[in-house]
Structure 1
Amino acid sequence: MSRPVSPVGAAVQVVRPPALDAGGRTAAATTVTVGADEPVLPGHYPGFPIFPGVCVIECVRLSAVAAPPPGAESLALAEVESTRFLSPVFPGDELTVELTWSAAAEGWKCTAKVATVRAVAAQARLRFTTGKES
């Protein structure tokens, strides 16, 4: 099988590596800058581009892979358990992705909050399996 292909061209920067937080959970943070040259923007509301929600969730997936919990050799997305979109993301926005990891029966669960300087843009819960990505 082939590896996942991403519709997001932006690079993920880990700004806070995974570490235990005050609540005993593993937390990390990344940033992703949505460039005006993102390939999905020209067709998503022409004349008033908005970064698609599926791409915001892809930024969460990319962030999770870039900042996995300790001991997770490789992560593969198994399920998007829930998403909630709260405000739009525009070209030029820098997304801050706050990740909180918890162990699950067959891998890891990741709770994420995605924010811009204006507001929280999205909240999501994703489930990952460990092992080789297919």
Structure 2
Amino acid sequence: MPRLPGHPVAGTVEVGTASGGTRHVHLTVSPEEPVFAGHYPGFPVFPGVCLLDFVYRGGLAVVPEPERTWRLDAVEKARFFKPVLPGDRLTADLSWQRCQEGWRCAAEVSTASGTVARIRIRLREGRST
């Protein structure tokens, strides 16, 4: 999925394979990401908001009802464990649960060094504002 207007991550989210009820999405964090300009000069770290954006964009790419239009309704949980650095390849394992508001997406985000974040978002039908 390409960059969405107004979103911080320039890289393309790639859809991986599915295993059981889990979908996998990937993003290679380019050293050229615009968010690195001025973010910890000399030791660039991919900001947590970019991990949220990655999960959201990945979720939109694999949402169980792709024929509908979805928007972010809530970030229910976000825990960050390790820094993400330029050149890291992110993998998010996304699992879905239907809820009254739409869909809840639980994501475990990892790199080669292990789990970097656990994020849970909720999508609601409708256009983004």
Q: TM-score, length-normalised on structure 1?
A: 0.87
Question: Unaligned 5+ residue runs, structure 1?
Answer: none
Which position in structure 2 is the counterpart of 1:48?
43
Which position in structure 2 is the counterpart of 1:93?
88
Alignment of 1:7-86 (within 5 A): 7-17=8-18, 21=20, 26-70=21-65, 73-86=68-81
Please give the alpha-carbon distance, in whole angstroms, between the structure 2 residues aligned to 1:117 and 1:50.
Answer: 16
* Aligned-pair CA distance for 1:69: 1.1
Residue type at the aligned position of 2:70: L
Question: Unaligned 5+ residue runs, structure 2?
Answer: none
* Aligned-pair CA distance for 1:99: 0.4
Please give the alpha-carbon distance, in whole angstroms, between the structure 1 residues aligned to 2:85 and 2:124.
Answer: 31
* Aligned-pair CA distance for 1:92: 0.5
Counterpart contact for 1:29–1:96, Cα < 8 Å: yes
Q: TM-score, length-normalised on structure 2?
A: 0.90
Could you report, residue by residue, the CA deviation over 1:95-128 in whole angstroms, capped at 9, with x for unpaired residues?
0011000001010000000000011010011011
Please give the alpha-carbon distance, in whole angstroms, between the structure 1 residues aligned to 2:128 and 2:67.
Answer: 12
Which position in structure 1 is the counterpart of 2:119?
124
Please give the alpha-carbon distance, in whole angstroms, between the structure 1 residues aligned to 2:76 and 2:67.
Answer: 20
RMSD between aligned alpha carbons? 1.7
State, as a whole percentage, how many aligned pairs show the same letter.
40
Please give the alpha-carbon distance, in whole angstroms, between the structure 1 residues aligned to 2:99 and 2:67.
Answer: 12
Counterpart contact for 1:72–1:130, Cα < 8 Å: no
* Aligned-pair CA distance for 1:72: 5.6
- The number of residue pairs the alignment matches comes to 126
